[in-house]
Structure 1
Amino acid sequence: MSELGRGEQTRKLIVDTAVRLFGELGYEKTTMRAIASAAGVSVGNAYYYFPSKESLVQEFYLQIQRAHLAAVEPILASGGGFADQLKAILHAAVDVWAPHHQFAGKAIGLAAVPGSPISPFSKESEPSREMALDVFRRLVAGTSQKMDPRLREELPEILWLGQIGLVVFWVHDSSRGQSRTRMVIDRAVPYLDDLIGLSRMKVLRPMTNRALELMRLLVTALVASSGTRTAGGSPSPR
Protein backbone atom coordinates (compact mmCIF):
# COMPACT_ATOMS: atom_id res chain seq x y z
CA MET A 1 0.00 0.00 0.00
CA SER A 2 1.35 3.48 -0.87
CA GLU A 3 2.17 6.15 1.71
CA LEU A 4 -0.71 8.19 0.33
CA GLY A 5 -3.07 5.28 0.83
CA ARG A 6 -1.98 4.84 4.44
CA GLY A 7 -2.27 8.56 5.02
CA GLU A 8 -5.80 8.71 3.69
CA GLN A 9 -6.77 5.70 5.80
CA THR A 10 -5.35 7.39 8.89
CA ARG A 11 -7.23 10.61 8.12
CA LYS A 12 -10.48 8.71 7.75
CA LEU A 13 -9.86 6.74 10.95
CA ILE A 14 -9.29 9.94 12.92
CA VAL A 15 -12.39 11.60 11.48
CA ASP A 16 -14.59 8.56 12.05
CA THR A 17 -13.33 8.27 15.62
CA ALA A 18 -13.91 11.96 16.28
CA VAL A 19 -17.47 11.82 14.95
CA ARG A 20 -18.23 8.81 17.15
CA LEU A 21 -16.85 10.52 20.25
CA PHE A 22 -18.60 13.79 19.46
CA GLY A 23 -21.85 11.83 19.34
CA GLU A 24 -21.16 9.91 22.55
CA LEU A 25 -19.50 12.57 24.72
CA GLY A 26 -20.47 15.86 23.10
CA TYR A 27 -18.29 18.17 21.04
CA GLU A 28 -17.00 20.34 23.90
CA LYS A 29 -16.06 17.40 26.13
CA THR A 30 -14.15 15.56 23.40
CA THR A 31 -10.46 16.48 23.31
CA MET A 32 -7.95 15.90 20.54
CA ARG A 33 -6.03 13.70 23.00
CA ALA A 34 -9.12 11.52 23.51
CA ILE A 35 -9.65 11.27 19.75
CA ALA A 36 -6.03 10.27 19.18
CA SER A 37 -6.15 7.67 21.95
CA ALA A 38 -9.39 6.12 20.68
CA ALA A 39 -8.04 6.07 17.11
CA GLY A 40 -4.79 4.42 18.22
CA VAL A 41 -2.54 7.20 16.93
CA SER A 42 -0.26 9.65 18.71
CA VAL A 43 -1.52 13.11 19.62
CA GLY A 44 1.15 14.57 17.38
CA ASN A 45 -0.04 12.45 14.48
CA ALA A 46 -3.62 13.57 15.04
CA TYR A 47 -2.54 17.22 15.02
CA TYR A 48 -0.42 16.58 11.92
CA TYR A 49 -3.55 15.75 9.95
CA PHE A 50 -6.00 18.03 11.77
CA PRO A 51 -4.87 21.16 13.64
CA SER A 52 -8.17 21.51 15.51
CA LYS A 53 -11.53 19.89 16.24
CA GLU A 54 -13.10 22.35 13.82
CA SER A 55 -10.91 21.04 10.99
CA LEU A 56 -12.08 17.52 11.85
CA VAL A 57 -15.70 18.64 11.44
CA GLN A 58 -14.87 20.31 8.14
CA GLU A 59 -13.30 17.09 6.87
CA PHE A 60 -16.42 15.24 8.00
CA TYR A 61 -18.55 17.69 5.98
CA LEU A 62 -16.39 17.00 2.93
CA GLN A 63 -16.70 13.24 3.37
CA ILE A 64 -20.48 13.57 3.56
CA GLN A 65 -20.56 15.73 0.43
CA ARG A 66 -18.34 13.31 -1.49
CA ALA A 67 -20.59 10.41 -0.53
CA HIS A 68 -23.67 12.37 -1.56
CA LEU A 69 -22.08 13.37 -4.86
CA ALA A 70 -21.29 9.74 -5.64
CA ALA A 71 -24.94 8.84 -4.99
CA VAL A 72 -26.21 11.79 -7.02
CA GLU A 73 -24.16 11.23 -10.17
CA PRO A 74 -26.42 8.47 -11.59
CA ILE A 75 -29.50 10.52 -10.67
CA LEU A 76 -28.30 13.52 -12.64
CA ALA A 77 -27.12 11.32 -15.51
CA SER A 78 -30.43 9.49 -15.82
CA GLY A 79 -32.46 12.58 -16.71
CA GLY A 80 -36.12 12.68 -15.80
CA GLY A 81 -38.39 15.41 -14.51
CA PHE A 82 -37.24 18.09 -12.10
CA ALA A 83 -39.40 16.89 -9.19
CA ASP A 84 -38.35 13.25 -9.56
CA GLN A 85 -34.67 14.17 -9.67
CA LEU A 86 -34.92 16.54 -6.72
CA LYS A 87 -36.73 13.94 -4.61
CA ALA A 88 -34.07 11.36 -5.47
CA ILE A 89 -31.26 13.81 -4.59
CA LEU A 90 -32.80 14.63 -1.20
CA HIS A 91 -33.53 10.98 -0.39
CA ALA A 92 -29.92 10.18 -1.26
CA ALA A 93 -28.85 12.90 1.18
CA VAL A 94 -30.91 11.29 3.96
CA ASP A 95 -29.29 7.94 3.15
CA VAL A 96 -25.83 9.51 3.54
CA TRP A 97 -26.74 11.31 6.76
CA ALA A 98 -28.41 8.29 8.36
CA PRO A 99 -25.40 6.79 10.20
CA HIS A 100 -24.58 10.16 11.78
CA HIS A 101 -27.87 11.10 13.40
CA GLN A 102 -26.44 11.06 16.94
CA PHE A 103 -23.48 13.28 16.03
CA ALA A 104 -25.64 15.71 14.07
CA GLY A 105 -27.90 16.17 17.06
CA LYS A 106 -24.92 17.24 19.16
CA ALA A 107 -23.30 19.42 16.50
CA ILE A 108 -26.24 21.39 15.16
CA GLY A 109 -26.39 23.70 18.16
CA LEU A 110 -22.73 24.60 17.73
CA ALA A 111 -23.14 25.12 13.99
CA ALA A 112 -25.99 27.55 14.65
CA VAL A 113 -23.85 29.87 16.82
CA PRO A 114 -23.14 33.14 14.95
CA GLY A 115 -19.54 33.20 13.79
CA SER A 116 -19.00 29.48 14.36
CA PRO A 117 -16.37 28.05 11.99
CA ILE A 118 -18.50 24.93 11.62
CA SER A 119 -21.56 26.90 10.49
CA PRO A 120 -22.60 25.95 6.95
CA PHE A 121 -22.33 29.67 6.12
CA SER A 122 -18.75 30.16 7.39
CA LYS A 123 -15.68 30.74 5.28
CA GLU A 124 -14.24 27.49 6.62
CA SER A 125 -17.26 25.58 5.26
CA GLU A 126 -16.91 27.02 1.77
CA PRO A 127 -15.43 23.87 0.13
CA SER A 128 -18.25 21.60 1.34
CA ARG A 129 -20.84 24.32 0.72
CA GLU A 130 -19.71 24.74 -2.88
CA MET A 131 -19.87 20.98 -3.43
CA ALA A 132 -23.45 20.94 -2.15
CA LEU A 133 -24.44 23.99 -4.20
CA ASP A 134 -22.91 22.47 -7.32
CA VAL A 135 -25.30 19.51 -7.13
CA PHE A 136 -28.25 21.89 -7.31
CA ARG A 137 -26.60 24.03 -9.99
CA ARG A 138 -26.28 20.95 -12.16
CA LEU A 139 -29.86 19.93 -11.45
CA VAL A 140 -31.22 23.34 -12.44
CA ALA A 141 -28.92 23.66 -15.48
CA GLY A 142 -30.09 20.30 -16.80
CA THR A 143 -33.81 20.64 -16.21
CA SER A 144 -36.33 21.42 -18.93
CA GLN A 145 -38.71 22.84 -16.31
CA LYS A 146 -39.92 26.27 -17.39
CA MET A 147 -39.47 29.03 -14.81
CA ASP A 148 -38.84 32.72 -14.31
CA PRO A 149 -35.26 33.54 -15.47
CA ARG A 150 -34.34 35.25 -12.20
CA LEU A 151 -35.68 32.30 -10.23
CA ARG A 152 -33.55 29.96 -12.34
CA GLU A 153 -30.49 31.98 -11.35
CA GLU A 154 -31.35 31.90 -7.65
CA LEU A 155 -32.85 28.41 -7.47
CA PRO A 156 -29.67 26.40 -6.67
CA GLU A 157 -29.11 28.45 -3.53
CA ILE A 158 -32.80 28.22 -2.58
CA LEU A 159 -32.62 24.44 -2.89
CA TRP A 160 -29.45 24.32 -0.80
CA LEU A 161 -31.11 26.42 1.90
CA GLY A 162 -34.08 24.08 1.77
CA GLN A 163 -31.74 21.15 2.28
CA ILE A 164 -30.29 22.87 5.37
CA GLY A 165 -33.82 23.23 6.70
CA LEU A 166 -34.35 19.55 5.97
CA VAL A 167 -31.23 18.70 8.00
CA VAL A 168 -32.64 20.61 10.98
CA PHE A 169 -35.93 18.71 10.68
CA TRP A 170 -34.06 15.41 10.30
CA VAL A 171 -31.99 16.05 13.42
CA HIS A 172 -35.19 16.47 15.46
CA ASP A 173 -37.01 13.60 13.72
CA SER A 174 -37.42 10.78 16.23
CA SER A 175 -39.51 8.57 13.93
CA ARG A 176 -38.15 5.14 13.05
CA GLY A 177 -35.42 5.62 10.47
CA GLN A 178 -36.42 9.32 10.35
CA SER A 179 -39.32 8.31 8.11
CA ARG A 180 -41.07 11.64 8.68
CA THR A 181 -38.19 13.40 6.96
CA ARG A 182 -38.75 11.27 3.86
CA MET A 183 -42.47 12.03 4.04
CA VAL A 184 -41.68 15.75 4.06
CA ILE A 185 -39.53 15.31 0.95
CA ASP A 186 -42.24 13.41 -0.90
CA ARG A 187 -44.92 15.97 -0.04
CA ALA A 188 -42.90 19.19 -0.33
CA VAL A 189 -41.12 18.60 -3.63
CA PRO A 190 -44.25 18.36 -5.84
CA TYR A 191 -45.56 21.54 -4.21
CA LEU A 192 -42.26 23.31 -4.89
CA ASP A 193 -42.33 22.03 -8.47
CA ASP A 194 -45.77 23.60 -8.95
CA LEU A 195 -44.59 26.94 -7.54
CA ILE A 196 -41.55 26.92 -9.82
CA GLY A 197 -43.75 26.26 -12.85
CA LEU A 198 -46.11 29.07 -11.88
CA SER A 199 -43.23 31.55 -11.57
CA ARG A 200 -43.07 31.96 -15.35
CA MET A 201 -46.53 33.55 -15.40
CA LYS A 202 -46.21 37.33 -15.80
CA VAL A 203 -49.01 38.03 -13.34
CA LEU A 204 -47.00 36.27 -10.60
CA ARG A 205 -43.64 37.85 -11.44
CA PRO A 206 -43.90 40.66 -8.83
CA MET A 207 -44.66 38.05 -6.15
CA THR A 208 -41.73 35.93 -7.31
CA ASN A 209 -39.40 38.91 -7.17
CA ARG A 210 -40.52 39.84 -3.67
CA ALA A 211 -39.98 36.26 -2.50
CA LEU A 212 -36.48 36.24 -3.99
CA GLU A 213 -35.64 39.56 -2.37
CA LEU A 214 -36.80 38.21 0.99
CA MET A 215 -34.69 35.09 0.53
CA ARG A 216 -31.63 37.18 -0.31
CA LEU A 217 -32.23 39.36 2.76
CA LEU A 218 -32.45 36.30 5.00
CA VAL A 219 -29.28 34.75 3.57
CA THR A 220 -27.36 37.98 3.97
CA ALA A 221 -28.46 38.20 7.60
CA LEU A 222 -27.41 34.59 8.25
CA VAL A 223 -23.89 35.10 6.93
CA ALA A 224 -23.35 38.63 8.24
CA SER A 225 -21.68 37.45 11.44
CA SER A 226 -19.32 35.12 9.57
CA GLY A 227 -17.73 37.91 7.53
CA THR A 228 -18.04 35.89 4.34
CA ARG A 229 -19.85 36.44 1.10
CA THR A 230 -23.33 35.01 0.75
CA ALA A 231 -23.58 31.28 0.24
CA GLY A 232 -24.05 31.56 -3.50
CA GLY A 233 -21.21 34.01 -3.89
CA SER A 234 -23.22 37.24 -4.07
CA PRO A 235 -21.72 39.99 -1.88
CA SER A 236 -25.02 41.60 -0.92
CA PRO A 237 -28.77 41.55 -1.57
CA ARG A 238 -29.74 42.37 -5.09
Structure 2
Amino acid sequence: MTVKSEQTRQLVAGVALRMFREIGFAKTTMRAIAAEAGVSVGNAYYYFASKDDLVQELYLQVQADHAARAAEALEDAVDLTGRLKATLHTGLDAMAPYHRFGGDFIATAIRPTSPVNPFAAGSTAAREASLAIFRTAVEAAKPPAPKKLRSDLPELLWLCYMAVTLFWVYDTSEGQQRTRRLVDGAVPLITRGLSLVRMPGVGRILDDFLSLSRSIRS
Protein backbone atom coordinates (compact mmCIF):
# COMPACT_ATOMS: atom_id res chain seq x y z
CA MET A 1 0.00 0.00 0.00
CA THR A 2 1.40 3.41 -1.00
CA VAL A 3 1.82 6.21 1.51
CA LYS A 4 -1.13 8.09 0.01
CA SER A 5 -3.28 4.97 0.03
CA GLU A 6 -2.46 4.30 3.68
CA GLN A 7 -3.25 7.91 4.54
CA THR A 8 -6.66 7.56 2.89
CA ARG A 9 -7.29 4.33 4.73
CA GLN A 10 -6.42 5.97 8.05
CA LEU A 11 -8.62 8.94 7.21
CA VAL A 12 -11.63 6.71 6.53
CA ALA A 13 -10.98 4.70 9.70
CA GLY A 14 -10.54 7.82 11.82
CA VAL A 15 -13.77 9.36 10.55
CA ALA A 16 -15.67 6.11 11.13
CA LEU A 17 -14.45 5.74 14.71
CA ARG A 18 -15.30 9.36 15.47
CA MET A 19 -18.81 8.82 14.10
CA PHE A 20 -19.17 5.64 16.15
CA ARG A 21 -18.39 7.71 19.26
CA GLU A 22 -20.63 10.63 18.31
CA ILE A 23 -23.74 9.06 16.76
CA GLY A 24 -23.31 5.34 17.40
CA PHE A 25 -22.67 2.26 15.32
CA ALA A 26 -26.24 1.75 14.11
CA LYS A 27 -26.58 5.28 12.69
CA THR A 28 -23.17 5.33 11.04
CA THR A 29 -23.32 4.30 7.38
CA MET A 30 -20.55 3.71 4.87
CA ARG A 31 -22.04 6.47 2.70
CA ALA A 32 -21.95 8.94 5.59
CA ILE A 33 -18.38 7.93 6.43
CA ALA A 34 -17.31 8.49 2.84
CA ALA A 35 -19.00 11.90 2.69
CA GLU A 36 -17.43 13.01 5.96
CA ALA A 37 -14.00 11.79 4.84
CA GLY A 38 -14.34 13.47 1.44
CA VAL A 39 -13.88 10.28 -0.56
CA SER A 40 -16.17 8.35 -2.86
CA VAL A 41 -18.32 5.56 -1.46
CA GLY A 42 -16.47 3.13 -3.72
CA ASN A 43 -13.17 4.33 -2.30
CA ALA A 44 -14.40 3.77 1.26
CA TYR A 45 -15.48 0.24 0.34
CA TYR A 46 -12.10 -0.35 -1.27
CA TYR A 47 -10.43 -0.06 2.13
CA PHE A 48 -13.21 -1.49 4.29
CA ALA A 49 -15.66 -4.00 2.83
CA SER A 50 -18.26 -3.21 5.49
CA LYS A 51 -18.84 -1.58 8.85
CA ASP A 52 -17.78 -4.87 10.40
CA ASP A 53 -14.26 -4.27 9.13
CA LEU A 54 -14.33 -0.88 10.80
CA VAL A 55 -15.34 -2.48 14.09
CA GLN A 56 -12.10 -4.44 13.91
CA GLU A 57 -10.30 -1.08 13.58
CA LEU A 58 -12.19 0.06 16.67
CA TYR A 59 -11.11 -3.04 18.56
CA LEU A 60 -7.47 -2.43 17.64
CA GLN A 61 -7.61 1.25 18.58
CA VAL A 62 -9.20 0.50 21.95
CA GLN A 63 -6.57 -2.16 22.65
CA ALA A 64 -3.75 0.24 21.74
CA ASP A 65 -5.24 2.87 24.07
CA HIS A 66 -5.70 0.26 26.80
CA ALA A 67 -2.09 -0.93 26.44
CA ALA A 68 -0.74 2.61 26.79
CA ARG A 69 -2.91 3.38 29.81
CA ALA A 70 -2.11 0.05 31.46
CA ALA A 71 1.65 0.44 30.93
CA GLU A 72 1.57 3.74 32.81
CA ALA A 73 -0.68 2.47 35.60
CA LEU A 74 1.36 -0.71 36.09
CA GLU A 75 4.51 1.27 36.84
CA ASP A 76 3.23 1.83 40.37
CA ALA A 77 1.58 -1.59 40.85
CA VAL A 78 3.61 -4.48 42.22
CA ASP A 79 1.41 -7.29 43.50
CA LEU A 80 -1.08 -9.15 41.32
CA THR A 81 -4.09 -7.54 43.01
CA GLY A 82 -2.87 -4.04 42.23
CA ARG A 83 -1.75 -4.95 38.73
CA LEU A 84 -5.01 -6.65 37.84
CA LYS A 85 -7.07 -3.73 39.20
CA ALA A 86 -4.94 -1.31 37.17
CA THR A 87 -5.37 -3.40 34.03
CA LEU A 88 -9.14 -3.68 34.37
CA HIS A 89 -9.74 -0.06 35.29
CA THR A 90 -7.62 1.23 32.41
CA GLY A 91 -9.55 -1.08 30.10
CA LEU A 92 -12.78 0.56 31.24
CA ASP A 93 -11.17 3.97 30.70
CA ALA A 94 -10.26 3.05 27.12
CA MET A 95 -13.80 1.87 26.36
CA ALA A 96 -15.54 4.80 28.08
CA PRO A 97 -16.08 6.98 24.95
CA TYR A 98 -18.19 4.20 23.40
CA HIS A 99 -20.39 3.35 26.38
CA ARG A 100 -23.52 5.09 25.09
CA PHE A 101 -23.51 2.81 22.09
CA GLY A 102 -22.13 -0.33 23.71
CA GLY A 103 -25.43 -2.12 23.18
CA ASP A 104 -25.16 -1.58 19.42
CA PHE A 105 -21.77 -3.24 19.33
CA ILE A 106 -22.91 -6.12 21.53
CA ALA A 107 -25.95 -6.70 19.30
CA THR A 108 -23.60 -7.01 16.33
CA ALA A 109 -20.87 -9.02 18.04
CA ILE A 110 -23.00 -11.43 20.08
CA ARG A 111 -23.97 -13.60 17.11
CA PRO A 112 -21.67 -16.66 16.92
CA THR A 113 -21.34 -16.17 13.16
CA SER A 114 -20.56 -12.45 13.40
CA PRO A 115 -17.15 -11.53 11.97
CA VAL A 116 -16.73 -9.06 14.85
CA ASN A 117 -17.37 -11.64 17.55
CA PRO A 118 -14.42 -11.27 19.98
CA PHE A 119 -13.69 -14.98 19.53
CA ALA A 120 -13.87 -14.92 15.70
CA ALA A 121 -10.83 -15.40 13.49
CA GLY A 122 -11.13 -11.80 12.26
CA SER A 123 -10.72 -10.57 15.84
CA THR A 124 -7.46 -12.44 16.40
CA ALA A 125 -5.21 -9.36 16.26
CA ALA A 126 -7.28 -7.41 18.78
CA ARG A 127 -7.71 -10.45 21.02
CA GLU A 128 -3.97 -11.12 21.05
CA ALA A 129 -3.28 -7.46 21.82
CA SER A 130 -5.62 -7.64 24.79
CA LEU A 131 -4.13 -10.93 25.99
CA ALA A 132 -0.68 -9.34 25.85
CA ILE A 133 -1.82 -6.69 28.34
CA PHE A 134 -2.92 -9.38 30.79
CA ARG A 135 0.32 -11.31 30.26
CA THR A 136 2.26 -8.20 31.22
CA ALA A 137 0.13 -7.78 34.34
CA VAL A 138 0.73 -11.39 35.41
CA GLU A 139 4.37 -11.92 34.43
CA ALA A 140 5.81 -8.97 36.35
CA ALA A 141 3.73 -9.45 39.50
CA LYS A 142 5.58 -9.84 42.80
CA PRO A 143 5.17 -12.26 44.42
CA PRO A 144 4.67 -14.25 41.22
CA ALA A 145 1.44 -16.08 40.47
CA PRO A 146 1.48 -19.83 41.22
CA LYS A 147 3.71 -21.53 38.66
CA LYS A 148 1.11 -24.14 37.75
CA LEU A 149 -1.33 -21.42 36.75
CA ARG A 150 1.01 -18.84 35.28
CA SER A 151 0.76 -19.76 31.59
CA ASP A 152 -3.03 -20.13 31.62
CA LEU A 153 -3.81 -17.22 33.90
CA PRO A 154 -3.68 -14.34 31.35
CA GLU A 155 -6.31 -15.98 29.14
CA LEU A 156 -8.50 -16.87 32.11
CA LEU A 157 -8.30 -13.27 33.30
CA TRP A 158 -9.09 -12.05 29.78
CA LEU A 159 -12.26 -14.17 29.84
CA CYS A 160 -13.16 -12.51 33.15
CA TYR A 161 -12.55 -9.17 31.43
CA MET A 162 -15.06 -10.15 28.72
CA ALA A 163 -17.64 -10.76 31.46
CA VAL A 164 -16.82 -7.42 33.09
CA THR A 165 -17.20 -5.73 29.69
CA LEU A 166 -20.67 -7.21 29.25
CA PHE A 167 -21.65 -5.98 32.73
CA TRP A 168 -20.24 -2.54 31.84
CA VAL A 169 -22.34 -2.32 28.66
CA TYR A 170 -25.53 -2.64 30.70
CA ASP A 171 -24.32 -0.53 33.63
CA THR A 172 -26.38 2.68 33.66
CA SER A 173 -24.88 4.05 36.87
CA GLU A 174 -23.07 7.40 36.75
CA GLY A 175 -19.67 6.83 35.18
CA GLN A 176 -20.37 3.08 35.35
CA GLN A 177 -19.38 3.12 39.01
CA ARG A 178 -21.10 -0.22 39.65
CA THR A 179 -18.64 -1.82 37.23
CA ARG A 180 -15.76 -0.10 39.02
CA ARG A 181 -17.03 -1.50 42.34
CA LEU A 182 -17.34 -4.93 40.77
CA VAL A 183 -13.69 -4.78 39.70
CA ASP A 184 -12.50 -3.54 43.10
CA GLY A 185 -14.46 -6.24 44.91
CA ALA A 186 -13.83 -9.17 42.59
CA VAL A 187 -10.08 -8.79 42.04
CA PRO A 188 -9.08 -9.46 45.69
CA LEU A 189 -11.36 -12.51 45.67
CA ILE A 190 -9.61 -13.79 42.54
CA THR A 191 -6.11 -13.25 43.88
CA ARG A 192 -6.95 -14.74 47.28
CA GLY A 193 -8.42 -17.72 45.47
CA LEU A 194 -5.18 -18.17 43.56
CA SER A 195 -3.30 -18.49 46.82
CA LEU A 196 -5.32 -21.62 47.60
CA VAL A 197 -3.55 -23.37 44.74
CA ARG A 198 -0.55 -23.87 47.02
CA MET A 199 -2.61 -25.74 49.62
CA PRO A 200 -2.24 -29.53 49.81
CA GLY A 201 -5.03 -31.39 48.02
CA VAL A 202 -5.99 -28.49 45.78
CA GLY A 203 -3.50 -29.37 43.05
CA ARG A 204 -5.53 -32.26 41.62
CA ILE A 205 -8.68 -30.15 41.44
CA LEU A 206 -6.70 -27.40 39.72
CA ASP A 207 -5.28 -29.89 37.22
CA ASP A 208 -8.81 -31.03 36.35
CA PHE A 209 -9.97 -27.43 36.02
CA LEU A 210 -7.07 -26.46 33.75
CA SER A 211 -7.59 -29.56 31.63
CA LEU A 212 -11.25 -28.65 31.16
CA SER A 213 -10.40 -25.02 30.46
CA ARG A 214 -7.84 -25.95 27.81
CA SER A 215 -10.20 -28.40 26.16
CA ILE A 216 -12.95 -25.82 25.63
CA ARG A 217 -10.50 -23.13 24.48
CA SER A 218 -8.79 -25.31 21.87
Task: Indicate whether the TM-score tops 0.5.
Answer: yes
SS at match of 1:75: helix
State how many pairs are aligned: 215
Alignment of 1:146-165 (within 5 A): 146-165=144-163
Bigger mean CA offset, 149-158 vs 124-133: 149-158
- Identity among equivalent positions (%) equals 40
Q: What is the aligned partner in structure 2 of residue 112 from structure 1? A: 110
CA contact (8 A) 2:67 2:133 kept: yes
Cα–Cα, structure 1 residues 17 and 42, in superposed 2: closer, same or farther, change >3 Å?
A: farther
Q: Any stretches of 5+ residues in structure 1 without a counterpart? A: 221-229, 231-235
Q: What is the aligned partner in structure 2 of residue 223 from structure 1? A: none
Instruction: Quote the offset at 1:16 in angstroms.
Output: 2.2
CA distance in 2 between partners of 1:16 and 1:22 (Å): 9
Alignment of 1:54-133 (within 5 A): 54-133=52-131
CA distance in 2 between partners of 1:9 and 1:35 (Å): 10
Q: What is the aligned partner in structure 2 of residue 206 from structure 1? A: 204
Residue deviations 1:68-119 (CA, integer Å, cap 9, x gap)? 0110112334441111111011111111111101222111122121121101
CA contact (8 A) 2:13 2:54 kept: no
CA contact (8 A) 1:17 1:39 kept: no
Instruction: Quote the offset at 1:123 in angstroms.
Output: 0.5
Bigger mean CA offset, 155-164 vs 110-119: 110-119
Instruction: Quote the offset at 1:8 in angstroms.
Output: 2.9
CA contact (8 A) 2:138 2:145 kept: no
CA distance in 2 between partners of 1:147 and 1:136 (Å): 13
Instruction: Quote the offset at 1:142 in angstroms.
Output: 1.1
CA contact (8 A) 2:24 2:104 kept: yes
Q: What is the aligned partner in structure 1 of residue 13 from structure 2? A: 11
CA distance in 2 between partners of 1:172 and 1:11 (Å): 27
Bigger mean CA offset, 134-143 vs 34-43: 34-43
Cα–Cα, structure 1 residues 18 and 178, in superposed 2: closer, same or farther, change >3 Å?
A: closer
Q: What is the aligned partner in structure 1 of residue 138 from structure 2? A: 140
CA distance in 2 between partners of 1:147 and 1:91 (Å): 20
Q: What is the aligned partner in structure 2 of residue 226 from structure 1? A: none
Q: When the two structures are superposed, what TM-score results if normalisation uses the length of structure 1?
A: 0.81
CA contact (8 A) 1:148 1:205 kept: no
Instruction: Quote the offset at 1:20 in angstroms.
Output: 4.1
CA distance in 1 between partners of 2:97 and 2:20 (Å): 14
RMSD: 2.2
CA contact (8 A) 1:58 1:125 kept: yes
Q: When the two structures are superposed, what TM-score results if normalisation uses the length of structure 2?
A: 0.88
Residue deviations 1:154-203 (CA, integer Å, cap 9, x gap)? 10000100110000000010111110000000000011110112212232
Q: Any stretches of 5+ residues in structure 2 without a counterpart? A: none
